[in-house]
Amino acid sequence: MWKRIKIVVVFVWFVTGNVCSQTDTPDWAYQRGLEIFEKQITEYYTKYALGDEAFRVLYIQESPFVKNIPDSINGRPVQVLTDKNFKKYYRKNGWKLIQVEIRKSTLVENRLEITFIPYHGTYYKEDGVRLELSDWTTVYFRWDPEVEIWMYDGVENKGM
């Protein structure tokens, strides 16, 4: 009987730990992920798909789970797009821009994953914004129990 109780307790601890990790990812992980994503712009996105001009400013969608987005990343200016200001920035960029979505982190096989999706956005006066997807970047972190911190564990670029 005690063996069953131990198994149940360990299972509950594991499940609740994974759920908490998914919802309580610290801002530093998202910020570190943004730094790594920004490096992928020149190493992947502008090399294979778009010129660097498309990413002159990094336009990031407002996110409910990322509280502090810096004003610049590795010297590249950052602008957070909100419901109130997105039309202004689309107008400023000829009604087209790259709009980056930061996905909610997930825990998969003991790795924290944060995905960044640079949508190709076009603003239509009659329909609003239409976002098209072609590529995305996932940044991975792995828990290091010795120092009790999430350590960078790699990056993966994918596309359709």
Could you state, in order of their start, the residue ranges of all structural domains in the chain? 26-159
Whether the pLDDT of residue 128 is over 50: the answer is yes
Say if CB 77 and CB 89 are below 8 A apart.
Answer: no
Q: What is the mean pLDDT of residues 2-18?
A: 39
Whether the pLDDT of residue 64 is over 50: the answer is yes
Tell me whether strands 111-124 and 128-132 are parallel, antiparallel or unpaired: antiparallel
Run of H or E residues at 105: none
Whether the pLDDT of residue 81 is over 60: the answer is yes
Closest among 22, 150, 45 to 100, alpha carbons compared: 45
Q: Cβ neighbours of residue 110 under 8 Å, at least 6 residues apart?
A: 142, 143
* Confidence at 48, pLDDT banded by 50, 70, 90: low
Dihedral of alpha carbons 38, 40, 43, 48, sign: negative
